Amino acid sequence: MATGSNGEEKYRAFVRRNLDRVVEMLAHISVSDFSKRLDTSALPDDEFTEVLYGLELLMDDLAEARQEVDEDEKFGRLRAEIWKRAVVGPGSMEALVLELLDAVGPQVHATGACYFAIESVSQDAVCTREWIPDGEVSVLGMSIPRSLWASYAGKEWVELRRSDIERAGGEELARLMRESGTGVFLAASCGPHDIPYGLIVFADRNERREWKERERNMLFELANIISAKTAYAESAEAFRLQKLESLGTLAGGLAHDFNNILTGIIGNISIAKRADTDRTAAFEALENAEAAAFRARRLTGQFLTFSSGGAPVKEVTALGELVEYCARFCLSGSNVASAIEIEPGLNPVDIDRGQIEQVLTNLLINAKQAMPEGGEARISAENAVLDGKYGLSLDPGTYVRVTVTDTGVGIPRSNLQKIFDPYFTTKKQGSGLGLAAAHSIIRKHGGHIHADSDGRKGASFTFYLPCSTMTMPHPEAVKEPVKRRKGVRVLVMDDDQAVRMVIAKLLKAEGIEVAEAGNGPDTLAAYIAAAQEGRKFNLVIMDLTIAGGECGRETVAKLLSIDPNARAIVISGYSNDPVMSDFRTYGFRGMIPKPFEVKELLDAVDSALDAY
């Protein structure tokens, strides 16, 4: 009995000991502690040991599952974080991409993560450039064979293994991968799959690396963010342009009406000044009033740069000379030094010299005001060949690139997207029209302008203008028109009586006989009647826009059908209307933008009368 009792006690102790081990392991499992392990090397080969072995395997499986859950939770938090950064993060795409890569890169167990922007596309290859940590674009890039690209187009992500690329003939890409020690790329396209904006790439040295599903998903999330931000930026730009067009329609109408008023004011002041031959005390007041009216004319000129449908009055111009002239004019006598770099052999451009001078003046004044304590303004002009529309809203071709850079206080990134909006300004005395006018002018010249700044120090403005297909003309002696005013008969058509009256008085003072008409039909009737009476008009001055009636373009066409030798001048408060920029095509012999000085009116009349 004693022996049996002893054996029973030993068995009970054995059971208790093993049950304690099982309970201990179950207790660790219940609190998700899967690191506990038992030394099973000294245990007998029995049922309890098998149970303990089974529990250890279960803990291994649970530990692996827990690690997967932790990784998924981490990636879930990371996904929420990067979308949050995309919504409230940096304004520029470059800064956003780099911030996202900084956040995601350490969580992806790979050699690195980077973004390649699509730079150019040809029949043979798709070429990229890489964004590097300081926000610039490096010379490091890829040239992907078009055939290889086509085989992956349309997929959410692709794996580019070095051996596969070498077999496909991508020598340059394979060389890049060898030099960087990269065995495999996991890439997702951002934007349209055929020709996207760029590629998000995870890289690893191990060519046999198998990417986990969450890593693929994270790559896809980054691609979605960049695609969404790019699409939003494009729609925002389209909306901003639509706002500018709407403002342009309003500004053009206001400027036209205001220019008519200014024409009456300036003309009557000129008449009053001519009458005051003794230069009485009133003469100085008249000159002050005239100067104020001309300042108002410059303001309406800025309004007109926003008007829709207008075209600059272009001529072939050497832009380098204009850049140097504006730099000297704007920075002379200031505490800002200038450094000008003009590329030898700079291509000529077709521009409205006055408008581009306004752009350069606005940019240089902006640079000078950004450096109240002094500094340096660097102005460069160089030829540029653009291969595609990537990054710039320009067609492929040859352009002249002009950059104005200052060493001032910089522009906050939050303001870069608004810098060209009308009336947006951070200056106490600024109108907010200068840069908006520059944007409108460059756009109407078929060019592009953008601003860049790191927000801490310095800013640069760059604009592109298409090169001219013409060569610079040789300077010729200017022929002065013969002044034939005595006995000349002029018919003036304008729906604004004050404008008609002023033009009539100014011409009559020169010995010119003047008749007036308020619309197209009356003008044609007066011209026909005068011809039948043998007192034909030598010249017709027509307003381009007639409220509720035939415009000057329609009236001159009818006039020339009646008398092919008729001579006409077009006048308008819409100084950048296409008819004004190309008046000869429409049958006019000259044009005068409103408001005008007496000399401008008389010079145009003399030139038109001297045409025959």
Query: Of 402-411, 449-458, 477-486, which gets the smallest average pLDDT?
Result: 477-486
pLDDT at 174 over 70: yes
User: At 464, is the pLDDT very low, low, confident or very high (cuts 50, 70, 90)?
Assistant: very high
Phi, psi for residue 475 in degrees, rounded to 5: -65, 135
Q: Which one is predicted more confidently, 477 or 551? A: 551
What six digits make up the tokens of 264?
């009456």
Per-residue pLDDT, 599: 86
Mean pLDDT in residue range 535-562: 90
Domain 93-211: CATH superfamily, name plus number: GAF domain (3.30.450.40)
Q: Which residue type is seen at 195?
A: I
Q: Is the peptide bond before 595 cis (omega within 30 degrees of 0)?
A: yes
- What is the DSSP-derived secondary structure letter of residue 471? P
Summarize pLDDT for 291-302 with one digit per residue, the tens: 888 777 766 766
- What is the DSSP-derived secondary structure letter of residue 529? H
Q: Distance between CA atoms of 299 and 290, rounded to whole angstroms? A: 14
User: At 288, is the pLDDT very low, low, confident or very high (cuts 50, 70, 90)?
Assistant: confident
Per-residue pLDDT, 1: 46
Beta-ladder partners of 340: 379
SS (H, E, C) 5-46: HHHHHHHHHHHHHHHHHHHHHHHHHHCCCCCCCCCCCCCCCC
What six digits make up the tokens of 13?
């102790």
What six digits make up the tokens of 17?
């000991």
CB atoms within 10 A of CB 60: 12
Q: Distance between CA atoms of 115 and 187, rounded to whole angstroms? A: 9
Collapsing DSSP states into helix, strand and coil, what is residue 592?
strand
CB atoms within 10 A of CB 582: 14
Mean pLDDT in residue range 174-199: 75
Collapsing DSSP states into helix, strand and coil, what is residue 338?
strand
What is the per-residue burial (b if ≥16 Cβ within 10 Å, else e) of 111-136?
Answer: bebbbbbbbbbeeebbbbbbbeeeee
Would you identify the CATH topology of the domain 260-310+479-612?
Rossmann fold (3.40.50)
Q: Which one is predicted more confidently, 544 or 302? A: 544
Q: Distance between CA atoms of 309 and 581, rounded to whole angstroms? A: 12
Using alpha carbons, select from 413, 422, 530 the residue that is nearest to residue 96: 413
Q: Distance between CA atoms of 144 and 125, rounded to whole angstroms? A: 5
Judge contact between 194 and 169, C-beta under 8 A.
no
Q: Which residue type is seen at 480?
A: E
Using alpha carbons, select from 483, 487, 539, 489 the residue that is nearest to residue 514: 489
User: At 77, is the pLDDT very low, low, confident or very high (cuts 50, 70, 90)?
Assistant: low
What is the per-residue burial (b if ≥16 Cβ within 10 Å, else e) of 332-363?
Answer: eeeebebeeebeeebbbbbbbeebbbbbbbbb
Using alpha carbons, select from 364, 256, 263 the residue that is nearest to residue 301: 256
- What is the DSSP-derived secondary structure letter of residue 479? P
pTM above 0.75, yes or no: no
User: At 256, is the pLDDT very low, low, confident or very high (cuts 50, 70, 90)?
Assistant: confident
Q: For the chain, percent helix, then strand, then coil, each to nearest 5? A: 50, 20, 35
Q: Which one is predicted more confidently, 357 or 3? A: 357
Per-residue pLDDT, 285: 85
Query: Of 114-128, 267-281, 552-566, which gets the smallest average pLDDT?
Result: 114-128
Q: Distance between CA atoms of 180 and 590, rounded to whole angstroms? A: 66
Would you identify the CATH topology of the domain 319-466?
Heat Shock Protein 90 (3.30.565)
**For all residues of the chain together, what is the average pLDDT?**
76
| Domain boundaries, given as residue ranges, for the chain | 2-77, 93-211, 260-310+479-612, 319-466
Per-residue pLDDT, 94: 60
Per-residue pLDDT, 389: 47
* 135-139, 178-182, 275-279, 520-524, range with greatest mean pLDDT: 520-524
pLDDT at 512 over 70: yes
Mean pLDDT in residue range 349-371: 87
Q: Which one is predicted more confidently, 478 or 579? A: 579
Helix axes 434-444, 353-369, angle to 10 degrees: 140
Give the H or E element holding residue 571. strand 568-572
Query: Of 139-143, 514-518, 588-592, which gets the smallest average pLDDT?
Result: 139-143
Judge contact between 121 and 127, C-beta under 8 A.
yes
pLDDT at 368 over 70: yes
What six digits make up the tokens of 526?
């007066």
Judge contact between 91 and 416, C-beta under 8 A.
yes
Judge contact between 131 and 113, C-beta under 8 A.
no
Per-residue pLDDT, 612: 44
Number of continuous H segments (helices) and E segments (strands) in the chain: 17, 18
Summarize pLDDT for 309-325 with one digit per residue, the tens: 446 778 888 899 999 98
Q: Which residue type is seen at 160?
A: L
Q: Distance between CA atoms of 125 and 96, rounded to whole angstroms? A: 27
User: At 133, is the pLDDT very low, low, confident or very high (cuts 50, 70, 90)?
Assistant: very low
